[in-house]
Amino acid sequence: MYAVTRRLLSLPALLLRREVSKEAELLVLRHQNAVLRHQVPRVRYEPADRLWFAALSHLIPRSRWAEIFPIAPATLLAWHRTLVAKKWDYSNRRRPGRPPTAAAVKTLILRMAAENPRWGHRRIHGELTRIGHKIAASTVWNILNRAGIDPAPRRNGPTWKQFLTAQAEHIVAVDFLHVDTINLTRLYALIMLEHSSRRAHLLGVTTNPTGPWTTQAARNFLMNTDTGTDMTKLKFLIRDRGGQFTDPFDAVFADAGLRVLKSPPQAPKANAHCERLIGTPRRELLDSMLIPNEQHLRRTLIRYLEHYNTARPHRSMDQLAPAQAETGPATPIDLADHRVHRTAILGGLINEYRIAS
């Protein structure tokens, strides 16, 4: 049968060799396609394959699609309709309505509202317009409303941080720092902090902080002219409601022209700056050493507060020490051209670094 079939097919090939060659090639490809259909139950086509089939379908009569293409005519037509729909689909090219507000603008609006409790949405809108950003007042209102902030002025009032910062130039605060000695005797140190300059002062150390002792410590501080504190600029003294702060203690500062402000009960944030000062020497120094007696604690705190006032950087003062903030920041230098000396403070628990002269 093979020999007979070959002889029958060779006769037309002699007459029309070129046409028969093409037809034979097509027959081979069709048969190969049929074999693949039997072996592969389902073929997955990529979008590029679908595009190619859909484009070639225009060159072939529809009646022969079932013989040539490895897919059903309905599937091929569906692919073609999808391609046409995607060509004329402009939904991804335009967005209806007003463009969204930039995230940076939303952040700035919320920041202005937090930093200025008395500003309403109209005032914030005016500030944005002043700095050159055009935005609708209703947009500002919507941003504040969605963030859970009342767009009207005076939302929550000033916080303790805002109040203390506004009055810092005229405020001092006092509080007690307690330390347990080696034999578990509790010592108390009375410390004063100037809010504006962040300078700290030790008023005294005792084992029994009674009202008379606290009053005398206040008198000694006011009579000491070496503290460097200008009492004429001070207007307020913040203290808690401890029993050590008696009426005579308040009278000492009242005679110096200060008004005593008592913090609310169980509200340490009302005296936040002084509370933070109390925790700083404890974390940096006292938790790492043993205190034998009252004299040792006094010498230790005096040396530490000297370091605190002259060499320790403060974040609220742009990483400058209180003494350095008064004279101005240091001149920028190239550390590769200078030597840095280390000075050990209190046995090396604290180090100070200075440029070698």
pLDDT in tens, 169-222: 788 999 999 999 998 999 999 999 998 888 999 999 999 999 999 999 999 998
Could you read off the pLDDT of 285-319 as tens digits, one per residue?
Answer: 888 889 999 999 999 999 999 999 888 888 777 78
For 205, phi then psi, to 5°, come to -130, 135
Pick from 166, 170, 225: which is nearest to 197 by CA?
A: 170
Report the pLDDT value the prediction gives residue 93, as an integer from 0 to 100. Answer: 62
Three-class SS state of 174: strand
pLDDT of residue 13: 52
Output the pTM of the full model: 0.56
Q: Write out residues in the chain with pLDDT < 50, as ranges.
A: 2, 6
Is residue 304 within 8 A of residue 217, CB to CB? The reply is: no
pLDDT given for residue 21 in this prediction? 66
Strands laid side by side in the 171-180 sheet: 200-206, 186-194, 171-180, 236-239, 259-262
* pLDDT score of 319: 80
Q: How many CB atoms lie within 10 A of CB 81?
A: 11
Q: Provide the pLDDT for residue 122.
A: 84
The structure tokens listed for 326 are: 């008064």
For residue 119, the tally of other CB atoms under 10 A from its CB is 19
- Dist CA 112 CA 123 (whole Å): 10
Helix axes 73-87, 47-56, angle to 10 degrees: 100
- Is the distance from CB of 151 to CB of 140 less than 8 angstroms? yes
Kindly state the DSSP code that residue 134 receives in the 8-state scheme: -
DSSP helix/strand/coil, 339 = coil
How many angstroms separate the CA atoms of 46 and 33, rounded? 18
Give the pLDDT confidence score for residue 2 in this predicted structure: 46
